[in-house]
Amino acid sequence: NYLRHVESMSQLPSGAGKISQLNAVVLGESLASEENDLIFPSKEFSGQALVSSPQQYMEMHKRSVEDPAGFWSDIASEFYWKQKWGDQVFSENLDVRKGPIRIEWFKGGITNICYNCLDKNVEAGLGDKIAMYWEGNEIGVDASLTYSELLQRVCQLSNYLKDIGVKKGDAVVIYLPMLMELPIAMLACARIGAVHSVVFAGFSADSLAQRIVDCKPKVILTCNAVKRGPKTINLKAIVDAALDQSSKDGVSVDVCLTYENSSATTRENTKWQNGRDVWWQDVIPKYPTSCEVEWVDAEDPLFLLYTSGSTGKPKGVLHTTGGYMIYTATTFKYAFDYKPTDVYWCTADCGWITGHSYVTYGPMLNGATVVVFEGAPNYPDSGRCWDIVDKHKISIFYTAPTLVRSLMRDDDKFVTRYSRKSLRVLGSVGEPINPSAWRWFFNVVGDSRCPISDTWWQTETGGFMITPLPGAWPQKPGSATFPFFGVQPVIVDEKGNEIEGECGGYLCVKGSWPGAFRTLFGDHERYETTYFKPFAGYYFSGDGCSRDKDGYYWLTGRVDDVINVSGHRIGTAEVESALVLHPQCAEAAVVGIDHEVKGQGIYAFVTLLEGVPYSEELRKSLVLMVRNQIGAFAAPDRIHWAPGLPKTRSGKIMRRILRKIASRQLEELGDISTLADPSVVDQLIALADV
């Protein structure tokens, strides 16, 4: 029915047009609900799109789930394999009741993702095409590399890494800001079969040390400092502290290769440990510009990326080579309707999964021109993004709702004073995009002309799972629309029963897809417990979701103890562990609250040791504790003094009640009679504004 409805609507002469106008014409029903808001791609857009109609999508999706082996091996054949995979394209066990969880794609296939990103493109004649435009923090500071130049830079670093003894399977930690050296470092590791673990350069020394201790790298790649907006951040000092810490914990790193970022600070101002620290620019240019590829099995590890879960210890999500390669390349191509003439900018940092899959690997596997931006998107003012868009004639712009919301608070003239006419497709990731931010992004940034790919996915999934294909379906603001090829989302109830049709519940996935993570580094049991045990037979995402009458998916946020702050995943337990390290803190409980720009903010209830008085100074030092333990992005927005916490008789903290108090929904506290001491609730309410 919906398909027929879409067909009839797309016959209308106006094509795309402003939101709601078409509804008014066709539906003739209530426009109040977002579900009924349909935004069609223009005929012009659909006409040139890779997937140009719902029917085409449905046929492709049908084949992808009925014959995954055929579907994915056809695509994989377009890439370079030193040796083709074995008889089985994939094999899996996703049911804990049937034995250990296991996912394998293209096993026995021998390839290299760096080769497919670089050498293959150069050989295909793209050597002189720009691979990367780099934009520095300050206006006018920029650089670029062609595919040939990028390949040479990568080879030099690969040769160096080999020279200092890094071998296939060794871990390499990368702690770099958005310099070209960050994607270069990732690709150089991939070239020699080393497993990179990029740590976002906003994490504190303690967090960095924790990751180093977990994956035990021989070498760490960093730079001396970086400027973000008006601030200079001395990264090398953070690395020094992390390396001190990790060696106390028994893991010492032999080499710290440090890029001299002269726009931020000087060599003289950088503390140095001879024997361990090496200036990048002193050694790398001396190495040969070509380097043999280390051919690896499709199932050999490509990278580790730590992410937050509902317990204190971050999880090392492990991705392997072949499936991840095919999946990121394919999702990039279709979700952004990629064409070889596009110039693509993803504002994410390579420290997060988005920067792995959609700054580095996905785009480069397609031979795309990628923009890498060092700075802050509102520096020197709110027009910076559109200045960059015009400068490089960017056609695909991929960002996070938090950035959209922060920019929409400023005057539209920061947008409209730039042309933006090169833009063709917009993208959103990291958290649900609220319909008003969606509309502003669509109407103001995209001049009501560019479809928005609202891509739902996770560190664990490797690539897009639910996403619009911009030329296929009409969009609904705030919905990630439909599953990508090969993906079978299911919504289950509390008991794990699949619910059909229009419904809401927990979002799971049936069957595997090539980009799925294979394990948690060093802890396969936690992998099974966290993702495959809650609803046996399915991968559990940790997200809530509903499906509307037309089959569109609407993500509603995390259902576990993970908070999403500006698109960054933060475990409540991590923040709590940091707070209780404070010598005057007895106990802490953290919940998420709505935040106008960040999506969610961090709200911490803190119980102090007996007799310690509340003070503003103490509040600041608690926040500082979290900044030092995790990083500035995890700093609590609010500390609420708590003489006691609402607990059940068995001692379990009732977060439901804390969430209501934090959001001041005091009439909705619900039943508090099961609390060991119901009077703590009144005490908390009394302290709400202290």
Q: How many helices (H) and strands (E) does the chain have?
A: 24, 31
Is 121 a binding residue for ligand 6R9 by CB under 6 A? The answer is no
CB of 616 to ligand 6R9, least distance (A): 33
Which residue type is seen at 63? R
Interstrand relation of 171-175 and 301-307 (parallel, antiparallel or unpaired) = unpaired
Q: Of 336, 386, 456, 517, which lies in the binding site for ligand 6R9, with binding defined by CB under 6 A?
A: 456
Contact segment (CB under 6 A) with ligand 6R9 among 4-12, 161-169, 419-427, 535-543 equals: 535-543
Is 513 a binding residue for ligand 6R9 by CB under 6 A? The answer is no
Contact segment (CB under 6 A) with ligand 6R9 among 87-95, 349-357, 437-445, 578-586 equals: 349-357
**Which candidate, 291, 295, 219, 299, places its Cα nearest to that of 253?**
219
Q: 75 by DSSP, 3-state: which?
A: helix
Q: How far apart are CA 503 and CA 650, in angstroms?
A: 34
- Residue 410 CA, chain-centre distance (Å), reads 26
Please say if 560 is a catalytic residue: yes
Which residue type is seen at 609? L
CB of 680 to ligand 6R9, least distance (A): 31
Between 298 and 466, whose beta carbon lies closer to ligand 6R9?
466
Q: Of 156, 204, 307, 366, which lies in the binding site for ligand 6R9, with binding defined by CB under 6 A?
A: 307
Beta-sheet strands, E only, within 78-141: 90-93, 102-105, 110-111, 130-135
**Which candidate, 554, 353, 595, places its Cα nearest to that of 454?**
554
Q: Of 270, 455, 519, 577, which lies in the binding site for ligand 6R9, with binding defined by CB under 6 A?
A: 455
Q: Are 624 and 604 in contact (CB under 8 A)?
A: no
Q: Widest CA span of the chain, in angstroms? A: 74
Between 153 and 569, whose beta carbon lies closer to ligand 6R9?
569
Q: Of 160, 457, 521, 539, which lies in the binding site for ligand 6R9, with binding defined by CB under 6 A?
A: 457
Task: Report the site for ligand 6R9 in 154-213 (rule: CB under 6 A).
Answer: none
Residue with tokens 């897809």: 513
Residue with tokens 């939101």: 19
CB of 449 to ligand 6R9, least distance (A): 21
Contact segment (CB under 6 A) with ligand 6R9 among 322-330, 385-393, 536-544, 619-627 equals: 536-544
Q: Are 13 and 22 in contact (CB under 8 A)?
A: no
For residues 49-79, one letter each, b for 16 or more C-beta atoms within 10 angstroms of the residue's C-beta and e for the rest, the string is bbbbbbebbeebbeebbeebeebbbebbeeb
Residue with tokens 């794990």: 496
Interstrand relation of 369-373 and 343-346 (parallel, antiparallel or unpaired) = parallel
Between 42 and 458, whose beta carbon lies closer to ligand 6R9?
458
Structure tokens at 425: 């497709």
Burial of 610: CB neighbours in 10 Å, binned 0-12, 13-18, 19+: exposed
Cite the DSSP H helix spans in 29-106. 43-48, 54-66, 68-76
Is 406 a binding residue for ligand 6R9 by CB under 6 A? The answer is no
Is 481 a binding residue for ligand 6R9 by CB under 6 A? The answer is no
Is 577 a binding residue for ligand 6R9 by CB under 6 A? The answer is no
Q: Are 350 and 360 in contact (CB under 8 A)?
A: yes
Is 37 a binding residue for ligand 6R9 by CB under 6 A? The answer is no
CB of 426 to ligand 6R9, least distance (A): 13
Is 571 a binding residue for ligand 6R9 by CB under 6 A? The answer is no
CB of 22 to ligand 6R9, least distance (A): 24
**Which candidate, 331, 357, 364, places its Cα nearest to that of 124?**
364
CB of 354 to ligand 6R9, least distance (A): 5
CB of 54 to ligand 6R9, least distance (A): 21
Structure tokens at 149: 């130049």
CB of 229 to ligand 6R9, least distance (A): 23
Between 568 and 640, whose beta carbon lies closer to ligand 6R9?
568
CB of 543 to ligand 6R9, least distance (A): 5
Q: Say which DSSP state 490 is in.
A: E
* Distance from the first to the final alpha carbon of the chain: 56
Is 634 a binding residue for ligand 6R9 by CB under 6 A? The answer is no
Between 159 and 354, whose beta carbon lies closer to ligand 6R9?
354
Q: Are 155 and 394 in contact (CB under 8 A)?
A: no
Residue with tokens 């089985």: 88
CB of 432 to ligand 6R9, least distance (A): 4
Among 254, 560, 677, 689, the one annotated catalytic:
560
CB of 687 to ligand 6R9, least distance (A): 31
Between 193 and 446, whose beta carbon lies closer to ligand 6R9?
446
Which residue type is seen at 494? E
* Angle at CA of residue 346, ends 340 and 347, nearest 5°: 155
Q: Of 121, 406, 459, 475, which lies in the binding site for ligand 6R9, with binding defined by CB under 6 A?
A: 459
**Which candidate, 474, 458, 32, 532, places its Cα nearest to that of 466?**
458
Site string for ligand 6R9, 414-453 (x = CB under 6 A): --------------xxxxx---------------------
Q: Of 10, 479, 564, 572, which lies in the binding site for ligand 6R9, with binding defined by CB under 6 A?
A: 564
Between 210 and 459, whose beta carbon lies closer to ligand 6R9?
459
Between 90 and 358, whose beta carbon lies closer to ligand 6R9?
358
Is 315 a binding residue for ligand 6R9 by CB under 6 A? The answer is no
Q: Are 206 and 245 in contact (CB under 8 A)?
A: yes
Evaluated on CA atoms 429, 435, 441, 443, the torsion sign reads: positive
Q: Of 192, 555, 565, 622, which lies in the binding site for ligand 6R9, with binding defined by CB under 6 A?
A: 555
Is 111 a binding residue for ligand 6R9 by CB under 6 A? The answer is no
Phi (first) and psi of residue 154, to 5 degrees: -65, -45
Between 151 and 450, whose beta carbon lies closer to ligand 6R9?
450
Between 73 and 307, whose beta carbon lies closer to ligand 6R9?
307
Number of residues that bind ligand 6R9 (CB under 6 A): 25
Between 133 and 442, whose beta carbon lies closer to ligand 6R9?
442
User: Which residues are near ligand 6R9 by CB under 6 A?
Assistant: 307, 352-354, 428-432, 454-459, 480, 541-543, 555, 557-558, 564, 567, 569
Catalytic machinery residues: 560
